[in-house]
Amino acid sequence: MTKLTAVFAATKRAFDLPKDVIYLNGNSLGPMTHASRARLVDEMDNQWSKKLIRGWNESGWYHLPETVGDKIAKLIGAPKSTVTAVDSTSINLFKVITAALALNPERRVILSDSGNFPTDLYVAQGIVSHLNQSAEIPYTLKIVKPEQVFEAVDETVAVVMITQVDYCTGRLHAAKEIVEKARRVGASTILDLCHSAGALEVNIEALAVDFAIGCGYKYFNGGPGAPAFVYIRQDLINQVKPILTGWMGHAKPFDFSLQHTPAPGIERMRVGTPAILGLASLDAALEVWQGITLAQVRKRSIELSELLMQEIAEHCPALTLISPTKASERGSQLSYTFTEGYALVQALIAEGVIGDFRMPNIVRFGIAPLYIDEADIIIAAKKIADVLNNQLWDNEKYKARHAVT
């Protein structure tokens, strides 16, 4: 056993994984850690139930957003006190888009691409629609193809908003080049890290991105609906004037002033009362990262992805790879197309291999080395081949759509 194999054998034991299940869907929802269960039990049995409201001081609840934020900052290559863990990704995106627009008041264009996660586009559409009710010069959300983003960045753009890893294909944006060009032309930048934080070396400070957001429930394994996070470049933080303001983002929230004064630093991006149970679960889940680096995770991810790609190419010709073949051009997932993609995913779930489906016919397999190893990949590939070769997916029960696909 190599040193790297031993490291990830240890992290795998930290997760409460169902027996006889190969979980290739951590890019949608990470599995539960034993630490999260223990923490939530403690929060309910010893903190909330015993201390009641005293828990805000005695249990450290009030400072959890910054405690968790600092842990995430380390994992995305950001300085301490530049990340806070609060709210959802969509709400945090609203905060940073409006803040970025305020930094460029003479410009009216938000630039994004058709490969962006839809909620990012929806939030931007809502902001544009609202602002245009009173704007003399209308705002515009300009959507181009992913490969056209770099060329579309010019002096008319106020904000460039991209998701680093395409949620459908796993394609990795050339974020460094895009950010550098945006800075040259005076545009602000927003990077969505939902499919990259915890999967690859983001190095957000080195990228010099102005704002970033991401979620806590994918590669960080915080649990369903776990709090998201928001990052602001260190030298920019105190220039930002949040539009969505609430008492927890106030400089002195318990003075109960009738006038909002932003808190110094990243805490100004807080709004309402933090979701303590969700934050506690996420805080505990992040313990699994102690003693490992994103460089190790990325190396392992590439090894496992290459193995799965090779196995599927050899035994599953019915699947068409749409993820980039070069590891340097993709995140930590492999995406394939199949005519009956939804039915295939449901049949695989019945056989103990959990991936997921995206419209119109995309089958995704997420590779999370913290709990996936070579043996899992080989078993999964064999089951995928079996379901395809024996047409097990061709069953009406697998074609009936659930609410969540």
What sign does the dihedral 299-303-309-313 (CA atoms) show?
positive
Tokens of 299: 């190396």
**The total number of residues written for the chain in this structure:** 405
Tokens of 36: 């999260």
Catalytic residue among 8, 15, 23, 117: 117
Catalytic residue among 71, 95, 108, 218: 218
Number of helices (H) and strands (E) in the chain: give both, helices first. Answer: 15, 13
From 64, 278, 93, 97, select the one nearest 193 (Cα to Cα). 93
Catalytic residue among 70, 87, 113, 192: 192
d(CA 43, CA 381) in angstroms, rounded, equals 40
Query: How does DSSP classify residue 216?
Result: S
CB burial of 140-157 (b: ≥16 within 10 Å; e: otherwise) equals ebbbbebeebbebbeeeb
Catalytic residue among 338, 364, 365, 398: 364
Reply yes or no on whether 217 is catalytic: yes
Reply yes or no on whether 12 is catalytic: no
d(CA 287, CA 284) in angstroms, rounded, equals 6
Q: Give Cβ neighbours of residue 397 (< 8 Å, ≥ 6 apart).
A: 346
Reply yes or no on whether 117 is catalytic: yes
- Over its C-alpha atoms, the chain yields an Rg (Å, rounded) of 22
CB burial of 221-248 (b: ≥16 within 10 Å; e: otherwise) equals bbbeebbbbbbbbeeebeebebeebebb
Reply yes or no on whether 256 is catalytic: no
d(CA 276, CA 86) in angstroms, rounded, equals 10
**Identity of the residue numbered 2:** T
Reply yes or no on whether 356 is catalytic: no
Catalytic residue among 23, 139, 211, 217: 217
Residues annotated as part of the active site: 117, 192, 217-218, 364
